[in-house]
Structure 1
Amino acid sequence: MDEKAVSSMETVLLMGDVDAIKDYVFESSRLPQIRGASALLMRCEAEIRQRIREANGRILVARGGFLLAEVPAAQIHRLAEEIPRIFASHTITATMTLAWEDPPGALPPPPSPIADGWAGRLIRAAPPSDPFPRRVAFLAARLRAAKESRSTVPTLETLPFARKCAICARRNASEPLYLPEGPLPVCPVCSTRHRAGWKARSGLRRMWHLWHPDFLGEPPQDLEQLVEGEPHGRLAFIYADGNDIGRHLMTLSDPQAYQAFSRKIYRGTRRAVFEALGIALKGWQGNFWPFELINIGGDDITLLIQARYALPFALAFLERFHLHTSFTASCAIVIADHKYPIRYFEALAADLLKGAKERAKSGPEPDSALHFLWLPEPVAGEEADLFLQRYQSEEGGRRLRWTARPYRLAQAWQLYELALALKDRVSRSQRQQWAEALTQGVLPSVQFIQYQIARAPQGDRSALRKLLERARDLCGFTGASHLLFWVEEPGRAAWVTAMMDLLEWAELLEAA
């Protein structure tokens, strides 16, 4: 139905959000399960779009597990019953919580402790004729209240003495899944995800070749194939998200503008992803693609990629995102062994992203920002600060910090450039010695590295000193007291250096 027809009838806004979407997608670390979960959720979104169009409604946003639509008031209750059934039929356990405006003339909803709170009072105080941003804000409050008041979730019966699923280990196994290594007893949820993930490979191949038709290789079947050729099997989990997109959406005055802006952001994000992959993987040769694109939401992306390509991809993406959307973005990178549980990758990346967003807002002008964490010896955890504390020490009553992360975009580009230069000019064994020296303190590390530079060939000494001076600029404290690559943090008894960041990325880029 055309836009004019939709606007001529009585309509209400319908909002939905997939519940615990990350738990569903990252329940297993097997690549077919992750790919299949994403494919099934996209299938649900496509079917919801179709049902809303058949009901003469209009989709404003339907990406990344979030839904906002304008639908005829007479159809709202039917759609509210059909959408949960769509998720149950495709995923078995995934659900979407829904909230909608009360149809004109409808009786007030029954009171509940949450609905009678501030959110419920604001919603009931806003007549349908209120400005569109306010309607969306009130509906979001109602959706939050609905999520908090959920009392039941779909589960499969689990018997105490039944054989557990070999993939999730949560539910009872009920059928065999035939894999190259042999049959596995699995539950219906994991079986459905695996079949969907296997079928999704052909769709990924077609989508990728639309952007890069000359790119060879095949989508990886598992994480072992994804990290093929990567030293020590290092895998990077990348999570990026646009800055202030939600705030801008709340300034749009009508549904048409909201819809147009959402489409623009999604198309710009998608274009930035594929262009950045083309830049980062230029010259790549292999049998299986060194990446897996998990999700492109409205303005956020989730991606798995070999560690050596993580930084060039992230920088190119942030640059292209701003080019195609006029907005900045923040990005988090977590690097560990490919056998590290994906759910911890995701949790750490989400935590790092908060720091990147704070850094993006810290300057005189908004900017894109990058944060990262490398776990050479992976330890289970979900709070990034616990791992970042290892980059700090005490010396004579002053705090030493061996890292200057997170970085704004221009600094991150400089970090990449310096890491490449350090990789080429300093051997791996020497870099390991430099990293050890940093932990000994300011003067011991400066003396040791100066001694190492003095032993370098005549032509390399000047270049290495300039490299260390430029590394000092990464700390961002202009005019502060400094000692070669260390900078005194103004107003605090603390010294900071970016050398550990450089040394880590020089190691990670070694095979590039």
Structure 2
Amino acid sequence: MNTKKIHPISIAIAWCLAWGNERQPQFDITVLQEMREALRNGQEVPEEVKAIVQQVEELENINDDYFPHTLDELKRKYSNLWNQTNKIGLVYGGVTKVKGYVFESEKLPDIRGASGLLDQINVVDLPVFFNKATESNLYRFHYPKVREWLQSNFPGKNLLAALIPELIIYSCGGNILAFCPPAFVDDLANAIEKRYTYRTLTANSCAVGETFTLLEIRFGLLRDKIEDTFWLEQYQETYENELVESYFGKVVQASSVQDNFKYRKSFNELTTKLAIRFNQRRSGNKTENRPTRRYPSMFETHPYLRRDETEKRSAITQVDHLPGNPYFSESSAIKRQFSDRVKTGKFKNYNWYQEGEDFLDEGWVKKFKSFLENNPEQQKKYAKNHHIENIKIADSLTELGQVSNRYIAYIYADGNNMGGAIQKIRTPQEYQEFSQDVDNATRYSVFLALAENLHPRKLESENDYFIHPFEILTIGGDDILLIVPADKALQIAKTIGEQFENILLKKIEISGVQIKGKNYTLDDNKVENTPRIHRFSEEILEKQQCKLSMSSGVLITAYNTPIYYAENLTSQLMKSAKKYAKLLNEKGYYGGTVDFFTMKSVTMISSNIEDFRKQALTIDKLKLYAAPYTLPELDKFLQSIHALQAAEFPTSQLYQIRSFLERGRRTASLNYYYFCCRLNKGQSTLQSDFEKIWCQAKTNPGKIAPWMYDIKEEKYETIWREMVDLFDLIEFSHNKSPEPSQQETSL
């Protein structure tokens, strides 16, 4: 039997079916290995498994748009798939309560180590379970250790032999979704949870699994007696029922009833079931035939024992070479020692925690360097005349603050419209391609933003040297958490949002990166010519928009602001930006948004940012702020700040105008125009780049600077306060104003 090359996911399904339902394969293992190689190379498969491969190929060849109106039609058209006795295992798992573990300590090295450790478990260790190795040669000695650990912790389970690389659907963003032979579902889930505990001691993790038939992979959950499954004809009669609606979702138009049912009855329904079971197990509910999660790791202390300085657990070691000779508990020692590896990817001369294993890690900076090496144009922009290998990584937030005028910024970004996109994914192949595309777009949008907006900065010390002026805390799935210099924070956030969409739309090419998923361009009929989406005066026709986008929260604050507190506020800003993006979707804008806040005092906010804005920055029908912004609005906002700087507006007058905002619209406008008339230069620039852009009057062609009128909320708002807050913090390269984003770029 000659066969064509088939998708790796189909190889995984064939492997599970050929293995069978027991721990020992129903065919000799060599037959399964020959089948795998034949399918990978488009060759003839062994005679014993031809019938199985034919079933898998039949499943793969089902048209993406096909959906049976009745179960009789499904049985008649795919009778070979109907009576399926063999099952396929599906496992979903990953880390939980990430922030509680990563931000347990306020020190950057500990945070870096915790984040890098979780990332390595997800991206390196778990794929090794499936005999999959990364491209990096750094881990060549690490792989045998992981396999040995798996074998020793699950002896006699035959787990290593049962798992192959093609079984992984995705492993990124702190989660893994993978197929496996049905007999190993519980073992694999247990191994995932145990690996996190073994490496970290205290990080929470959870994994669940279930078995499904071949037909369910394509058409969702089916009853044991398939004929009894709730199907389209019943749904069309009861879709308005509250119980049915809560499961399948609300039908907006009667014409979309079939589509609503079709998107639910797919592979998406299987992952939803696992997500529900995941939440149940994470909450401590009992799982049959598996160890309980009700009792998390606890480290008892004693009043006469030494405790560590952050977690208050019993200290086991003291580090003489660090400032203050700190004491560490076992879990904090693991973080800090791993952080040493993350910094350089090399061992240090000292090994102060002898019990810890010698794990190495690439670290995000090393990955960033690899990106620069493969993209010389970006390397030239970032490095200028510096040798990348001579640039060091910051040891603390203090060092990042020293090269950033003592102010840094936290950027927390998250993808928009992801849930809606996932709901329309009907096959595991699409799941795999979608996760890889989003992960690539997220990662390389960050690398592009850093390369285009930053350069190595000199750290003034006894031995002056240059450092990378940023810290990548995490990039996973569609999540980003960065620490960057305050003077470039908004430019970086804007570039991330723009390049995320450009990568998915294939407007930009990156060496070694291929977008494999279906078209991410939004349908033209969903794009409306609504010029009032953006609050500036210029009309923009939203065309060729991306279905997915990125919303970011940016907190600009002093370097010594407690990091857990800063992360919490940044998360609030990110959620505010996402809320604004969702609101704009209804108007036809599907792009990114950014919300930012400048906090020059830690005691500035006592509760949360939303309450602070309502109580302190909202007076009757006046809003003394304008955030969040769309990406085009942010571009115009930066242009206005540059105009303000170019006009050399006296700082005292800037703050005086800001103080008059609270006294009413007319008082603030009168003072603004009075001070503008006294400027020696820059009046025309302010008029063109600030007043004309933002301050159009409500009913006539005049200007009402520094205000703008919000038609929807019937309020006056202003960007002046935010401009003044950033006036002495933000910098533009070579004193040039922001230029329009390049729509077509090739790397």
Fold match by TM threshold 0.5: yes
Offset at residue 64 of structure 1 (A): 2.2
Offset at residue 402 of structure 1 (A): 1.2
What is the CA–CA distance in structure 1 between the aligned matches of 2:700 and 2:326, rounded to whole Å?
63
Which residue matches 2:450?
Answer: 277
Q: Structure 2 vs 1, CA of residues 427 and 230 (structure 1 numbering), >3 Å: closer, same or farther?
A: farther
Q: Structure 2 vs 1, CA of residues 466 and 86 (structure 1 numbering), >3 Å: closer, same or farther?
A: same
Which residue matches 1:389?
Answer: 614
Which residue matches 1:99?
Answer: 208
Q: Secondary structure at the match of 1:172?
A: coil
More deviation in 496-505 or 401-410? 496-505
- Alignment map for 1:251-400 (pairs within 5 Å): 251-282=424-455, 287-326=466-505, 327-361=548-582, 362=584, 363-379=587-603, 383-389=608-614, 391-394=616-619, 398-400=620-622
What is the CA–CA distance in structure 2 between the aligned matches of 1:480 and 1:145, rounded to whole Å?
60
Q: Secondary structure at the match of 2:595?
A: strand
Which residue matches 2:334?
Answer: 192
For residues 329-354 of structure 1, give each alpha carbon's deviation from its aligned partner in whole angstroms, at most 9, with x where no partner exists.
Answer: 11110121122121122221222112
What is the CA–CA distance in structure 2 between the aligned matches of 1:157 and 1:506, rounded to whole Å?
51
Name the amino acid aligned to 1:250.
Answer: Q
For residues 374-396 of structure 1, give each alpha carbon's deviation from its aligned partner in whole angstroms, at most 9, with x where no partner exists.
Answer: 111013767321333365243xx
Asked if the contact 2:497/2:551 (under 8 Å) is kept, the reply is: yes
Q: Structure 2 vs 1, CA of residues 60 and 2 (structure 1 numbering), >3 Å: closer, same or farther?
A: closer
Offset at residue 102 of structure 1 (A): 4.4
Which residue matches 1:114?
Answer: none
Q: Structure 2 vs 1, CA of residues 151 and 506 (structure 1 numbering), >3 Å: closer, same or farther?
A: same
Name the amino acid aligned to 2:651.
Answer: R
Q: Structure 2 vs 1, CA of residues 467 and 436 (structure 1 numbering), >3 Å: closer, same or farther?
A: farther
Which residue matches 2:718?
Answer: 497
Q: How many residues align?
A: 488
Name the amino acid aligned to 2:393.
Answer: P
The alignment status of 1:152 with 2:295, answered yes or no, reads: yes
For residue 271 of structure 2, the aligned residue among 136, 154, 157 is: 136
Q: Secondary structure at the match of 1:15?
A: strand
Which residue matches 1:228?
Answer: 402
Asked if the contact 1:347/1:383 (under 8 Å) is kept, the reply is: no
Offset at residue 511 of structure 1 (A): 8.4
Name the amino acid aligned to 2:339.
Answer: G
Which residue matches 1:7?
Answer: 13
Which residue matches 1:485?
Answer: 706
For residue 631 of structure 2, the aligned residue among 409, 413, 426 is: 409
Q: Structure 2 vs 1, CA of residues 392 and 471 (structure 1 numbering), >3 Å: closer, same or farther?
A: farther
More deviation in 497-506 or 313-322? 497-506
Which residue matches 1:112?
Answer: none
Asked if the contact 2:710/2:717 (under 8 Å) is kept, the reply is: yes
Name the amino acid aligned to 1:445.
Answer: A
Query: Which one has the largest radius of gyration?
Result: 2
Name the amino acid aligned to 1:188.
Answer: E
For residue 196 of structure 2, the aligned residue among 87, 90, 106 is: 87
What 5-or-longer segments of structure 2 have no aligned partner?
A: 1-6, 18-86, 132-159, 214-242, 249-263, 285-292, 345-361, 374-378, 460-465, 506-547, 734-747
Offset at residue 71 of structure 1 (A): 1.7
Offset at residue 245 of structure 1 (A): 1.9
The alignment status of 1:508 with 2:729, answered yes or no, reads: yes
For residues 464-500 of structure 1, give each alpha carbon's deviation from its aligned partner in whole angstroms, at most 9, with x where no partner exists.
Answer: 233441452599x898996322234447663211111
Q: Structure 2 vs 1, CA of residues 288 and 15 (structure 1 numbering), >3 Å: closer, same or farther?
A: same
Q: Structure 2 vs 1, CA of residues 122 and 50 (structure 1 numbering), >3 Å: closer, same or farther?
A: farther
What is the CA–CA distance in structure 1 between the aligned matches of 2:696 and 2:574, rounded to whole Å?
20
Q: Secondary structure at the match of 1:330?
A: strand
For residue 42 of structure 1, the aligned residue among 119, 125, 129 is: 119
What 5-or-longer segments of structure 1 have no aligned partner?
A: 105-117, 124-128
What is the CA–CA distance in structure 2 between the aligned matches of 1:78 and 1:479, rounded to whole Å?
71
Which residue matches 1:56?
Answer: 163
Name the amino acid aligned to 1:164.
Answer: R
Which residue matches 2:96?
Answer: 19
Offset at residue 328 of structure 1 (A): 1.3
Q: Structure 2 vs 1, CA of residues 359 and 100 (structure 1 numbering), >3 Å: closer, same or farther?
A: same
Which residue matches 2:228?
Answer: none
Which residue matches 1:109?
Answer: none
What is the CA–CA distance in structure 2 between the aligned matches of 1:367 and 1:269, rounded to whole Å?
15
Asked if the contact 1:391/1:401 (under 8 Å) is kept, the reply is: no
Name the amino acid aligned to 1:448.
Answer: N
Asked if the contact 2:208/2:278 (under 8 Å) is kept, the reply is: yes
Asked if the contact 2:106/2:563 (under 8 Å) is kept, the reply is: yes
For residue 209 of structure 1, the aligned residue among 363, 369, 384 is: 369
What is the CA–CA distance in structure 2 between the aligned matches of 1:390 and 1:373, rounded to whole Å?
15
Offset at residue 51 of structure 1 (A): 1.0
